[in-house]
Chain A
Amino acid sequence: MSERHTPQVGRLLVGLYPARYRELHGEDIAATFAEATEGLGRRELLRERLDLASHALRLRLRIGPTDPAGRVLAGAAPVALAIAVGACLAYLLPGLGEVADAFAGASARPRWALVVAGLFVAFSAPWIVTLLFAALGRWRPARRVAVLAIFVDCALMVVLGQTYGVAGEALRLAVLGALVLLAPPDLVDTGRRGRWEVTAVALLVGLPLAGASQGAAVLIGIPIHSVPALAATWAFVVAAVLLLLHLSARRPDRLRGAGIALGASPWLLQYLPAGPLSALMIRTGTEFLVLVGGAVILGGLVRLLRRTLGTEPAEPA
């Protein structure tokens, strides 16, 4: 291939590919890239370059769609995202109450009511939009809005001067963002089943927590959502149920199953800054292991039972 035909940036980007892949496909990709970018505007050109760099880095990190790690991430990202949306939904009802209270006293403090409402919309709207995109099977926009939601959450922690648990929360959000961004987008299940799962997980995490929070606020005066460990435990329960459903299916995808467990893990990491042997970390870690382990064992037992009863053919050699 003549050098003059391949733009310099294209050659640099192709250089990002692993040597073996570059040897096999580098020239072909460079030629296609050169033709595809001819006459493009600056913005489109930047997108093309980012897309090619992303493909190269995925292959280098072995998280492409043909790598097992890529399939695990593709299973993890929607679950992680759905749990995060669910956590937002859990705050939605109490938050609406706070907004209503602020507006009830708006005549005395009109600005305060607007600030409360603004913060409420800034916190919840990106997550709700994320869920809508994911439920419609539009994974790429869902991913972009999720990243925005993560940035907004981080910004709100700074703006509100939050001090308690900031390191853990930031770690959880960072891992969530990494899972969502690293998962190969074309491998995420956006079919009917995938869309149903994302929606169901978000609602199953969020609505019971919101209801319990309201109930606890009425009964004992402390809303449950002020205790994040309970939200984590409930998220693990929902993820474990989803994992059990996957593993007890007729043809379970074990890598996707591993992804489901990984998708719940950001909630585990939020206690890591307190120390790997802190009481909270040990408690939450034990809950995670027991629930995930229980789902794996139960799923295996269901399949064994089905095979014993002859309703499932043995796995081919």
Chain B
Amino acid sequence: MTDRQVQEPTRLVLTALADAPRHGYAIIQEVLAISEGRTRLRTGTLYTALDRLLQQGLVRIEGEQVVGGRLRRTFALTEQGKELLTEETRRLRLAVLEAERRLGTARLRPNGASA
């Protein structure tokens, strides 16, 4: 699944699940932390993304537990999900490296030098 760019909310959900399985509210909190407060997933949006990721086989239901009287279902990345996130990370790293290289070139160029 590399023919389509992963949208940011999807990437953030996958990243939130990359190191450990998490339940819905924990994913919301992780996404908020990863995005440095820029992206606050709403409940409906989170479950819309999870529905799709579950159907695509990128995420699976890890288990269910009752904590403090509340049922919590934990979600985890599948192997396919890990592969997609790895591929997406590689693509982003290349884009960042290229941007840094070009910015570095611009900084090194002395004032008034011809391009």
Listed in ascending order, the chain A residues whose CB lies under 8 Å from chain B are 1-2, 4-5, 25, 27-29, 31-37, 47-48, 51-56, 58, 64-66, 184, 186-187, 189-192, 251
Considering the complex, which residues of chain B in the window 47-99 have a beta carbon less than 8 Å from any beta carbon of chain A?
Answer: 47-49, 51-52, 55, 64, 66, 68-73
The CA of A31 and the CA of B47, in the complex, are separated in Å by 12
CB contacts (< 8 Å) of A56 on chain B: these are 44
Q: Does B9 touch A at the CB level, under 8 Å?
A: yes
B residues contacting the other copy or chain, number (CB 8 A)? 29
Listed in ascending order, the chain B residues whose CB lies under 8 Å from chain A are 3-5, 7, 9-10, 23-25, 28, 42-49, 51-52, 55, 64, 66, 68-73
CB–CB A55/B24 < 8 A: no
Which A-chain residue is minimally distant from B4 (CB atoms)?
A191
Minimum C-beta distance from B91 to chain A (A)? 11
- If over half of A's interface residues share one DSSP class (helix, strand or loop), that class is named, otherwise mixed; here it is helix
CB–CB A32/B45 < 8 A: no
CB–CB B49/A186 < 8 A: yes
Q: Which 10 A-B pairs have the closest CB atoms?
A: A32-B24, A55-B44, A191-B5, A51-B44, A2-B69, A51-B42, A31-B70, A35-B25, A28-B73, A52-B44
Q: A47-B42, A55-B44, A66-B52 are in contact. List 16 more A-B contacts (CB 8 A).
A: A5-B69, A28-B23, A28-B71, A31-B71, A32-B43, A34-B70, A35-B70, A36-B25, A37-B43, A55-B43, A64-B51, A66-B51, A66-B55, A186-B10, A186-B52, A251-B3
Minimum C-beta distance from A21 to chain B (A)? 9
User: Which of A1, A32, A47, A192 meets B46, CB within 8 Å?
Assistant: A32
CB contacts (< 8 Å) of B5 on chain A: these are 191-192
CB contacts (< 8 Å) of A58 on chain B: these are 48
CB–CB B71/A51 < 8 A: no
The CA of A31 and the CA of B65, in the complex, are separated in Å by 12
CB contacts (< 8 Å) of B55 on chain A: these are 66
The CA of A192 and the CA of B7, in the complex, are separated in Å by 11
CB contacts (< 8 Å) of B44 on chain A: these are 48, 51-56
The CA of A184 and the CA of B23, in the complex, are separated in Å by 23
The CA of A282 and the CA of B28, in the complex, are separated in Å by 52
CB contacts (< 8 Å) of B4 on chain A: these are 189, 191
Minimum C-beta distance from A35 to chain B (A)? 4
Which A-chain residue is minimally distant from B48 (CB atoms)?
A55
Minimum C-beta distance from A42 to chain B (A)? 15
Minimum C-beta distance from B17 to chain A (A)? 15
Which A-chain residue is minimally distant from B74 (CB atoms)?
A28
User: Which of B3, B64, B70, B73 meets A5, CB within 8 Å?
Assistant: B70
Minimum C-beta distance from B11 to chain A (A)? 11
Minimum C-beta distance from A56 to chain B (A)? 8
Which B-chain residue is minimally distant from A251 (CB atoms)?
B3
Which A-chain residue is minimally distant from B27 (CB atoms)?
A32
